[in-house]
Amino acid sequence: MHITRRRPDSVPGPPENFTGTVWLDEIAAPAAPSRLRMFNVHFAPGAHTAWHRHPHGQVLHVLEGEGLVRRRGGEVEEIRAGDTVWIEPDEWHWHGAAPHTFMTHLAVVEAAGDGTTAVWDAHVNDYPA
């Protein structure tokens, strides 16, 4: 058993992967052989990810606020506190805060054998305002 008493500092979401103000808090990244990664992600109103996919899928659990999520070829879906979203392996998608409210979610992924957790693509050019 390992108890983490102090997490790493919050880091801003890199602008090549996010639009708007986003902060990431690493919650868990256990040593190998585990490949689990968990983040608490804080989105300012209207902030969101670029298009991306995860080799083993992703679970999002909304802790507070309201947000939006969309898979490539699908409709924009509203998400809110208490909702859990399962994103299939290699499914292109984006997610973020609704235009007029903050949103915080837990994001859980499993890294690929080479350590990759996400493959990033273009910024979203039609995010709802």
Q: Identify the residue whose tokens are 């190998």.
A: 32
Cα 61 from Cα 104, distance rounded (Å): 9
pLDDT at position 2 is 83
Higher per-residue confidence, 87 vs 2: 87
pTM, rounded to two decimals: 0.94
pLDDT at position 27 is 94
Q: Which two tokens stand for residue 51?
A: 């298009």
With a cut of 90, say whether residue 78 has pLDDT above it.
yes
